[in-house]
């Protein structure tokens, strides 16, 4: 990997990568970038000042609740369990771009739709 420069900048809400000689076929560089992107997604959070406004928005939307037997699995940092729940995109103004929410056991759950990693649960 000598001669290759991989510059990665992690920003709140996303990952930006650039390189002078970055080749898409470089599996090692791709794995590194994927790990960094995954870590950025896993550490995303609903901004404190947006938590109540987002919760109010979700309550107003009045979406149906999905009943899940093992409520312990629905926690921050864990993956949403597979199931028949509907998910809905979180509007951009609430500070968690590219995330969805679902209602599980009558609680709003914010998660990333690709990884299903939970970033916030409203009680």
pLDDT in tens, 4-57: 333 333 333 444 444 444 444 555 544 444 444 444 444 579 999 999 999 999
Domain boundaries, the chain: 6-42, 48-121
Alpha helices in 43-96 (DSSP H): 48-61
Question: 């794995």: which residue's tokens?
Answer: 31
| Residue in 59, 14, 79 with CA at minimum distance from that of residue 40 | 14
What Rg value do the Cα atoms of the chain yield, rounded?
A: 17
pLDDT tens-digit readout, 77-105 = 999 988 889 999 999 999 999 999 999 99
CA atoms within 13 A on the CB side of 54: 28
CA distances 83 to 28, 42, 56, 67, 68, Å, are 34, 21, 25, 10, 8
């Amino acid at each position: 990997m000598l001669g290759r420069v991989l510059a990665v900048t992690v920003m709140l809400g996303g990952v930006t990568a650039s390189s002078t000689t970055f080749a898409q076929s470089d599996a090692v560089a791709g794995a590194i970038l994927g790990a960094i992107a995954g870590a950025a997604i896993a550490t995303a959070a609903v901004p404190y000042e947006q938590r109540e406004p987002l919760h109010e928005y979700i309550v107003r939307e009045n979406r149906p609740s999905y009943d899940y037997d093992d409520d312990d699995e629905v926690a921050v940092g864990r993956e949403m369990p597979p199931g028949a729940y509907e998910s809905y995109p979180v509007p951009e103004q609430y500070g968690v771009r590219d995330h969805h929410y679902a209602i599980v056991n009558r609680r709003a759950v914010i998660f990333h739709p690709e990884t299903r990693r939970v970033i916030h649960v409203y009680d």
